Amino acid sequence: MFARLLIAAVLAALVVPGVAQAHHTAVPVVALDYRNHVVASSEPAGVHVSLEDAGRKLRLAVVPGLRVTVLGYEYEAFLRFDPAGVDAAARSKTALSLRLAGPISRGHSFAWADARIWAPASALGERDTVRWSVPLLVQGRRAVIRGELTRAAEPPLWPWLVLAALPLVAAAVAVRKRNWLWAAATGLAALAGFATLADLGGFAAGGLSVSTDRWLLLAVEVGLILVALGCLLGPRTRLIAVAALAAFAVLQALSELAVFRHGVVVSGLPAQAVRAGAAIALGAGIGAAALVFLVPAPETRKTASHVRISRKEQA
């Protein structure tokens, strides 16, 4: 009964749009519209330029001993790289807007979210290519780092709708053949759980800046999925395990719907693999959730022992 109530509560919660979107606790962004890259020929000698956090942060690594000044939004001195480390200019409006002040690193590398290299798709006007630049002073000489934001085409939706429908077809077949209910329910729940694990692992390796508390929540989510997968093997725990896996897979897949609408998927896995994982998790999760209401409840230990005693008395 508890497992069935769990599924009912989750399905009721899904009518609130914010629930599914807020569920993605580990990764704040799953998909974007633009790819960002640095024009390699614009790198000054002794300065290595790279992008982090899905292209939304600029990192400079400077050869020790080289003096480099990054100019800010108003061409004021913003960041200084020198033998002592990295320092943010106290009077720089750019530094103030980014909440940087004074010495910020003793090393020779630093990354920051520069508004010149990234903007939301709504601010870019859906242009196919957006060029950006960040001016520098290298040993007192002017230099410019250049890069490009390239819009990625929106992926077709129909292949993933078909893939999500296949587990639902399997669930429908199991309903017609009643003796397949438990096998189908546990199989679909396991499929949903593994697909969810794959996508979570991919997002964790996607290169995003993730806070410590989000990493902790990711570990908890993965742990709960693994426990539920193990509980599928127990006759008395599999109903709750199926319900838990189905509920979590559906919620997680709904929080990843952006991967079907945006061209760039922020994951360590290929975009097509992430979309396949989300589609399978959604379809298998819904299928397993539906079967939870149809599978026979597992026999309790008390009932089983009562049957054995009754048989002995009859004998």
Q: What is the mean pLDDT of residues 142-147?
A: 96
What is residue 314's predicted lDDT score, i.e. its pLDDT?
52
What is residue 128's predicted lDDT score, i.e. its pLDDT?
92
What is residue 307's predicted lDDT score, i.e. its pLDDT?
46
Between 169 and 21, residue with greater pLDDT:
169
Q: Are residues 225 and 248 in the same domain?
A: yes
**Last residue of some domain: 86, 121, 151?**
151
**Total number of domains constituting the chain:** 2
Q: What is the mean pLDDT of residues 76-90?
A: 93
What is residue 304's predicted lDDT score, i.e. its pLDDT?
45
**SS3 state of residue 48:** strand
Q: Are residues 140 and 183 in the same domain?
A: no
Which of 19-23, 77-81, 162-166 has the weakest average pLDDT?
Answer: 19-23
What is residue 180's predicted lDDT score, i.e. its pLDDT?
86
Q: Are residues 61 and 186 in the same domain?
A: no
Query: What tokens does 52 get?
Result: 């982090």
- The percent of the chain in helix, strand and coil, each rounded to the nearest 5, is 50, 20, 30
Q: Are residues 291 and 158 in the same domain?
A: yes
Q: What mean pLDDT is reported for the chain?
A: 85
Between 235 and 209, residue with greater pLDDT:
235
Q: Are residues 20 and 135 in the same domain?
A: no
Domain that holds residue 142: 34-151
**Last residue of some domain: 116, 151, 186?**
151
Q: Are residues 175 and 300 in the same domain?
A: yes
**Last residue of some domain: 151, 178, 211?**
151
What is residue 235's predicted lDDT score, i.e. its pLDDT?
84
Nearest-angstrom CA–CA distance, 189 and 191: 5
The set of residues, in sequence order, having a beta carbon less than 8 Å from that of 304 and lying 6+ positions away, is none
Nearest-angstrom CA–CA distance, 199 and 72: 38
Residue 62 forms beta bridges with which residues? 47
Q: Is the whole-model pTM more than 0.95?
A: no
